[in-house]
Structure 1
Amino acid sequence: MCADFSNLEKETQELDQAGIDIFHMDFMDGSFVPNFGMGLQDFELVRSVTEKPVDVHLMIQEPSKYVEKFADLGADIIYIHPEADRQAARTLDIIQQKGKKAGIALNPGTSVEMIQELLPLVDYVMVMTVNPGFAGQKYLSYTNSKIEKLVALSKEYDFDVMVDGAISPEKIEKLSKIGVTGFVLGTSALFGKTGTYQETLEKLRAL
């Protein structure tokens, strides 16, 4: 969402060559969150120019209607918001039946207790550390306790803990020490910085 969309193919190639691990793509419907995100054509373009894993973050109502579509287009990881899906367990099962990794994304106001029954069904849990929908927001520090709870639970249920939202180098350094394994990078750490993407990533990995 934070890339230069005037030349998305070139951006994708440069990020790929710089050594990113996963391409993270936000899809918004203007209903579940007050904004609109990327389109299917954007996904298809990125998927066509990289062999790296591509994930989709479905910030949409009734994601069950679209998970098979994205799986067939080549998504490797599909995140849903349990708050937006009346049958979240079934949707996660569909994702895995398609041979894809299943993830849940938690809004800042969603507690661990509300989704704990889903943890045996997922490969990833992504904690939103801002209210989803817009780039450039301030990190919500009260989400730290939720992250710590999920890191502890990840050892029991075998999932990776990811964080998304205002992830600065300082946050990467702090959260990696408590067990977070993946960071979605936007304007706080990657885009719009001086130097190449490769130089930026090398600095972040050294933290």
Structure 2
Amino acid sequence: MTRNPSAYMTEVNTSKNSLRRQSGLAHVINYGQFGNVTLNGPSLFICERHPLTILQLDTNKSKTLTDISNLLNVEFPHTNTCNGDDKRRILWLGPNRWLIVEPEHECLQTLINNEFNSSEVFLTDLSHGKSTVRLRGRNARDVLMKGSGVDWHLNSFGADYCAHTKLFDLAATVDCRDIDVFDIYIARGFAEDFWGTLVDAAAEFGYQVD
């Protein structure tokens, strides 16, 4: 039986003899402009951020947290906030728990484990288990309002805030990167369903998939 490699999380890249992480949205993303696009162009832009390293970090030791912050050169955020940029981003998930996100280019987990005792910090690699979608544009908050009861208005949910909520009936973490730029983390197994619902909600405003 012939296997479809895109159905698996990784496949062998024979030219480089290495593993390459597969997108959970590869079968559903269509590039271009869709929906109610006016002469002024689309008001929304949607893309997948892939591949990413996504680590969940747990520790209740303040000194360890400070040392890891110095190692990563990013301060750990407090309740419902985030710090960092596209090179490395840290999101607050809950008491003593954070999400570290960066483009996949080095073994972040090994870097931290080599410096800290396993009894001080606990790391869980979620890179295979999450899909990340970036939503940006002047109507981005209107789309989010369609899917969740969170107050998405700018005066309540500004840049560097994050929320853990049900978005279009699916558990999601939403990171406000800028005034109208949001990264949405969703379980990989529900990524295709989420993508379909998201673009349906965006069609009213006209959107472009990059």
Structure whose residues are more often strand by fraction: 2
**Looking at CA atoms only, which structure, 1 or 2, has the larger radius of gyration?**
2
TM more than 0.5: no
- Taking CA–CA contacts closer than 8 Å with sequence separation of 6 or more, which of the two structures ends up with the larger relative contact order? 2
